[in-house]
Amino acid sequence: MSLWGWVLLAAVICLVIKVAGYLVPSEVLENRRVAHTAAMVTCGLLAALVVTQTFAAGSALVLDARVAAIAVAAVALWLRAPFIVVVLLGALAAAGVRALGWG
Amino acid sequence: MPASPSVRSAVRQGISVGLATGAYGVSFGALSVASGLDVWQTCVLSLLMFTGGSQFAFIGVIGGGGAGAAATATAALLGIRNSLYGLQMASLLRAHGLRRFAAAQVTIDESTAVALAQDDPPAQRAGFWAAGLGVFVFWNLTTLAGALLGDVLGDPARWGLDGAAAAAFLALLWPRLAQRQAQAIGAVAAVVAAVVIPIAPAGIPVLAAAAVTAAIAWWQYREPPHVRGTT
């Protein structure tokens, strides 16, 4: 399937998931175990995405300028910086480290 | 009938959340184009998928060289929480027909959070719609701006856009790490992803981490004693 096909399919699936919340009988989703598992899967997915976006280069684990980005982002978040500031600092850190000739 | 002070305050809160969230639509737009999507594919994601975490995940997997199926599965798994929000919002909004469809589409982290932060049902409804529609409008406008910007920037690494993507996922994760259990799950997921990266195609490490965390969360769950038998 083309990239367009995946874009549309993924978008429609996400939309259907939202609509399901309004249509599925509430007993299924109100189950505390289901709610807990869904919340934890969200955490797990995001943590895994942090790792792949920081250390993966194809099928290799590498240390490059992205490590500086994630470190700066962590400090910014710890100082309660807003999302957009964290993202910009991440870009600046990676670009800065590369301009100095590393990663 | 003039709106009550609580309703007006909820609307103000909703619009400011819309503006703040819209601001990082620029980063989504730029990163999406850097990941290999074109401007229109990027805009379709914001219009139709409209759930930031899933959108960043989709372009993250594609940009990392992952298959479309892996990107789609990751986006879908991250979107599941929206159906749990929908369940809570359905009983609050009691909307029908097209209005219910519109409510479902704008049921995301931000609109749910603003609704739940209000004290009375009219203010909760007002906050939900103000935040949901506010984010929808600003997010789509800024996505387009970011995508056009990304198109002229050229080489993403030179501008540190790969670092921006990593930072974005950490910023999405950060507020969810308040509880110790979430921290433990996050650590397990990170290790699973790192172990799987060298042995599987791009996109699979994230799904493997999701499967392991789902299994752990499901089997480790204990009903809190004070609510047992009350539902």
Nearest to A69 by CA among B173, B193, B171, B142: B171
Distance CA B37, CA B63 (A): 9
- Please say whether the beta carbons of A84 and B165 come within 8 A: no
Chain A residues near residue B214 by CB distance under 8 angstroms: 37, 40-41, 44
Shared domain check, A48 and A89: yes
Q: Give the per-residue pLDDT at B167.
A: 93
pLDDT digits (tens, 9 = 90+) for B170-211: 998 999 999 999 999 999 999 999 999 999 988 899 999 999
Closest alpha carbon to B106 in B77, B137, B80: B137
Contact assignment for A43 to B86 by CB distance below 8 Å: no
Helical H segments across chain A, by residue range: 3-23, 26-30, 32-55, 65-78, 83-99
| Per-residue confidence band for A103, with pLDDT thresholds at 50, 70 and 90 | confident
- Do A59 and A34 share a structural domain? yes
Q: ∠ at Cα A84 (A80, A85), nearest 5°?
A: 55
Query: What ipTM does this complex have?
Result: 0.92
**Do A63 and A41 sit in the same domain of this protein?**
yes
State whether residue B202 sits within 8 Å of chain A by CB: yes
CB B114 within 8 Å of CB B2? no
Q: What is the pLDDT of residue B10?
A: 92
d(CA B14, CA A97): 38
Residue B127 φ/ψ region, left for φ over 0, alpha for ψ in the -120 to 50 degree band, beta for the rest: alpha
pLDDT at res. B1: 57
Say yes or no to pLDDT of A14 above 50. Answer: yes
Note whether B164 contacts A: Cβ–Cβ < 8 A.
yes
Give the up-direction half-sphere exposure of residue B107: CA atoms within 13 A in the CB hemisphere: 31
CA angle (B102 as vertex; A21, B128 as ends), nearest 5: 80
* C-beta atoms of B80 and A38 within 8 A: yes
Measured CA to CA, the distance from residue B45 to residue B35 in angstroms comes to 13
pLDDT at B217: 94
Same domain, A92 and A57: yes
Average pLDDT, chain B: 91
A49 in the same domain as A23: no
Contact B46, B73 (CB under 8 A): no
Q: What amino acid is encoded at B127 in this protein?
A: G
Same-domain check for residues A4 and A34: no
A51 in the same domain as A22: no
Instruction: Note whether B169 contacts A: Cβ–Cβ < 8 A.
Output: yes
* Residues contacting B2, CB < 8 A, separation 6+: none
- Which residue type occupies B10? A
Nearest to B71 among A10, A19, A95 (CB): A10
Q: Are B178 and B184 in contact (CB under 8 A)?
A: no
Instruction: Residue A75: give the domain boundaries.
Output: 28-99
Domain identity same for A64 and A44: yes
Greater confidence (B56 vs B91) lies with B56
Same domain, A38 and A80: yes
Same-domain check for residues A66 and A20: no
Same-domain pairing of A19 and A58: no
On whether any CB of chain A is under 8 Å from the CB of B37, the answer is yes
B25 and B59 in contact (C-beta within 8 Å)?
A: no
pLDDT for res B228: 52
- Who contacts B123 (Cβ-Cβ below 8 Å, separation ≥6)? B4, B6, B7, B9, B10
| Cβ atoms of residues B56 and B169 within 8 Å | yes
Q: Do both A36 and A50 map to the same domain?
A: yes
pLDDT over 70 at B231, yes or no = no
Residues B124-134: tens digit of each pLDDT: 999 999 999 99
Assess whether pLDDT exceeds 50 at residue B120: yes
Domain count, chain A: 2
pLDDT at B230: 46
Question: CB under 8 Å, gap of 24 or more: what pairs does B97-100 form?
Answer: B100/A22
| CA distance, residue B1 to nearest chain A CA (Å) | 29
